[in-house]
Amino acid sequence: MSHQPGTLLSPSSLAQQPPAAFSHKTVVCIGTGPSLTLEQVETARQRGFVLTGCNNVFLDVPDLAVLYGCNFAWWCEYWGLVHKHPAEKWSSNWDAHQMFGINWISEKNAPGLSTDPTVIHHGHGSGFSLVNLVYLMGAERIVLLGYDLRYSSDYDGRSCKIGSGPRHYFGEYPEGLRHWPSVHVRGGVHTELCELYRSVADQDLIEVINCTPDSALDCFQRMSIESV
């Protein structure tokens, strides 16, 4: 890419000069859902897809082109490790930009993908934000891995009960970084987030293929990563 990690860019450059690595490319957005495996990532890598990820994905994918994290506390927790990772680092958190010098872009709460190169729609999390970011960076097609959008059916956010299965492919974040969504989770499924992704599908701005096994997302084309 033409710019260096740790610089505050004019976000308009994302639209005016898409990074060469993203133009006419299939870009994989890697979330932290429990279905994610390194074998899936390796398949995407072997196909020559651009790899991007959010949060703890950097610990297992050394060749990420972009790493996104929306949570200031997450950057504080992992900076000692993540600063060594070669990925271009992005956040919509201004404090994270000021403290660590990572790239920053504004955010707002709205359905669908932002087409304004100065802002992303956050979708209440890093996974959704990453999708909007790579769209603005010029991706031709987006593939989703680790976008389960579901916990175990016995998950109970009100009582901070994880349930009988893991919430992330690596287990859990440190206690201070754990979130407990409850109001819009039904039977373990993030119903509100599913509706936000549906608004992306309804826009039909970019092809999105969901390669996440057993994902709660049913608004995008479903394929195995081996078939893409």
Do the Cβ atoms of 135 and 129 come closer than 8 Å?
A: no
Instruction: Give the domain ranges of the chain.
Output: 12-227
Give the three-class secondary structure for 194: helix
- Give the span between the Cα atoms of 100 and 204, in whole angstroms: 35
Return per-residue pLDDT of the chain as tens, 228 residues: 333 444 444 444 454 444 545 888 999 999 999 999 999 999 999 999 999 999 999 999 999 999 999 999 999 999 999 999 999 999 999 999 999 999 999 999 999 999 998 899 999 889 999 999 999 999 999 999 999 999 888 888 889 888 888 989 998 888 888 887 766 888 889 899 999 999 999 999 999 999 999 999 999 999 999 999
Region for 183 from its dihedrals, namely left if φ exceeds 0, alpha if ψ lies in -120 to 50, beta otherwise:
alpha
The pTM is what?
0.90
